[in-house]
Homo-oligomer: A and B are copies of this chain.
C-alpha cells in the first residue's frame, strides 16, 4: 500500500516538470544529489531516473547528466500535430479563418460523439486552416464546456484550438476514424474545391484524465493532403 521510494522520487520529478519548475532541456538532480535529498541508496535514486528515461520523459548521457526531454513523443502514426506547426515546418505560410464560435445544443449524434447527455449546451467552433492562402483543413469541433469553460473566450487566430486544448486539458487518449468521401456544398466552397472532389475526413475524439474533451471532424482536400505514419515493431 505504501508507495515505493523510487516511485516517490519519480512523482517528485514529474511534479517539478508539470509545474514548470523543470523545463525541457533543464538538467535534473543527479543520482548522487537525489541520493542525499531522499536518503536512499544510489540504486533507488537511479531507478527513478532510469524509468523516467525509459518513459522518454528524461534523457540521460553518461558523463553529462540527466535532462528533461524536449517533448513527450507520441505514437508516430496519425500523430496529433498542430496544423499550424505542420505548415510552418514545411516552410509555408499559415493562416486561419474563424467561421463559427458559439454555444450550441447537441443533436443526438453530437451528444454521443462528445459523451454528454442529449440536448446539452456545448461549445462549437469551425475554423478554416490555410497553407500559403490555400485552404487545407476544415475543422469542425465540439468541446465539452465542463472541462474547458473558457473555450469561447480564446482568440483562435493566434492559437489553434488544438494548441489551446493541449495546454488546458492535456490529452491522455485519442480515437481516430479516417475515411474518404465527398463533402457537402458548404464545406466544399470553404475548401475551394468542387463538390465531386474526394476528401479525407479524420474524426478525432480526445480524452483527458477527466473525460472526453473534444470531438473534431477534420476535412482535407484529397488532392492537397495525405496522412503518413511510420511503425516500429
Contacts and interface: CB of A to CB of B under 8 A. Distances in A.
B181 A229 contact: no
Interface stretch (A1-9, A12-20, A70-78, A122-130): A70-78
Nearest to A76: B75
Give chain A's interface secondary structure class: strand
Interface string A168-185: 000111111111111000
A231 B75 CA distance: 7
Contacts of A220: 180
A226 interface: yes
A200 B174 contact: no
A198 interface: yes
A233 B176 contact: no
A228 B77 contact: no
Interface of A: 43, 54, 72, 74-75, 77-78, 80, 171-182, 196, 198-201, 220, 222-223, 225-233
